[in-house]
Amino acid sequence: MVLFVIFCPIVAAILIMIGAPARKMAVAASVLTLGATLLLLASFSPEQHDFQEVTSFPISSEWHLSFTTGIDGLSLALVLLAAIVTVAAVWFAGKIDKYQNAFYACLLFISGGAIGAFASLDLFFFYAFHELALIPTFLLIGIWGGGNRVAAAWKITIYLAIGSFILLLGLILLYQSVPTASRSFDIRALKAAASLGQISGDAQRHIYLLLLIGFGILTSLFPFHTWAPEAYAAAPAPAAMLHAGILKKFGLYGLLRLAIPLLPEGARHWTNLLVLLLLGNIIYVGLVTIAQKRLDWMLGYSSVMHIGYIFLGIASASILGVTGAVVLMFAHGLSIALLFALAGELRKRTGTLVFEELGGLAKVMPFAGLAFGLGAFAAIGLPGFANFAGEIMIFFGAFKNGWEIGRFHIFQIATVLALWGMVISTVYMLRAYRKVFMGALNERWTGLVDLRSALRVPVTLLVGALLCYGFFPQSFVRMTTPAFRTYLTANK
């Protein structure tokens, strides 16, 4: 079933490239992928700590290389996110004016590559699947993007290529740091070697820094974040949904899957640096977000800002904080995909996303106004949405993690500042909602019509998932927590 979930979008993309009906094939493949993922979710056993649904095909015995896939709670959460956002992105794509088959094939390649990276238990394919997903991202921005698409495509290409190269160096050093007898590309074997102390502390510090920088660039960690807002503003809405909603979670997933369990001493050594950088995401980028005058740029910077909260949960290295980080990864992917989808529809209908040229659209587009309001409320962490559940776990996990009697530790200071970041995000989100949907209606927009019935399906899917795991976060927690119990401690 895991292999089906990985290769269903990839095979569909290949069929589309050789002439199959693009939209019908893409919708069918995305729905089938979601259905198969829900079957995996239904059959998943949270009590089992090991990987489930493991499949392995040997490739090179000399290099101990094999195509191995499997899931645990962490990977299943992100595969589910990818499946949901893919359905929504494909559904919102609609009719494409030029190279329609190539456009839909690129969307499915991004989805298949991301799912493959999340489900791979082999270091080589973990990296290779992510690279497979990056290439169509560049093409979607450069060919079908708007605004300054060529400059944005080049910028994201250069940034992410550098990040991928640094990450590759870190992965090579990780492989070589294990004694020859224990070397393997299998992540499970590497974890076993690390648990036996076979990776020296000095090597851990160097490798972790490389992985942090590599994953950080791919995830838009401050100060490596400037590529993201420009790329998302120029990208077609489905591409922004897939990259911001799914693919950008690869770096966060990599830290949780590799860096922290394999390099715990390195993670502790660089904790203070990571906390300072993530505060740059939350405070500095948050203030920059308030200053934006376009909806697409505001959403791009907002996406970068909220990554800081996830990094705070990861840095806490506690079960509560890290589990909250996974919940927020899932919730942020859904909410930002919803907001980018609606922004794309507004741009398609009005030709502009400048705040001063919009206003009062809720009068002619009430469903879109309601959906955007729900997405905005989720993004600012309103109780009832999954974002709130993730953020509250992160705050409690981070605040309690570094407690020292008699004084504040860096984690308490970071948590207090991050709470002020919630105020910042509330300001820019509600301001954007007021500028776009409330107030007097510009005469130019009196002829606009609301989202048609077909487009309400993916909106309902995204909002429904946010509310489902917002009201019942414990089901998500039970699924993901066992993945961390073997190498993380409970809050002290």
Q: Residue 255 is encoded by which pair of tokens?
A: 């830290």
Residue ranges in the chain whose pLDDT is less than 70: 60-64, 402-408, 489-492
* 185 contacts 62 by C-beta, under 8 angstroms: no
Q: What is the pLDDT of residue 108?
A: 93
Q: What is the pLDDT of residue 359?
A: 83
In a domain, 315, yes or no: yes
Q: What is the pLDDT of residue 404?
A: 47
In a domain, 357, yes or no: yes
The model's pTM: 0.91
CA 235 vs CA 6, 109, 290, 455: distances in Å:
24, 16, 21, 20
In a domain, 34, yes or no: no
Q: What is the pLDDT of residue 212?
A: 93
Q: What is the spatial distance between Cα 192 and Cα 236, in angstroms, rounded to a whole number? A: 43
* 109 contacts 139 by C-beta, under 8 angstroms: no
In a domain, 415, yes or no: yes
In a domain, 295, yes or no: yes
Q: What is the pLDDT of residue 489?
A: 57
Q: What is the pLDDT of residue 492?
A: 40
Residue 131 burial (10 A CB sphere; 0-12, 13-18, 19+) = middle
Q: What is the pLDDT of residue 490?
A: 47
CA 452 vs CA 92, 334, 367, 448: distances in Å:
11, 21, 9, 12
- In this structure, the number of other CB atoms found within 10 A of the CB of residue 356 comes to 10
In a domain, 383, yes or no: yes
Q: What is the spatial distance between Cα 353 and Cα 372, in angstroms, rounded to a whole number? A: 14
Domain count, the chain: 1
Structural domain range at position 428? 278-492
In a domain, 399, yes or no: yes
- In this structure, the number of other CB atoms found within 10 A of the CB of residue 440 comes to 8
Query: For residue 55, what is the enclosing H or E element?
Result: strand 52-60
The radius of gyration of the chain's CA atoms, rounded to the nearest angstrom, is: 21
In a domain, 196, yes or no: no
* 69 contacts 2 by C-beta, under 8 angstroms: yes
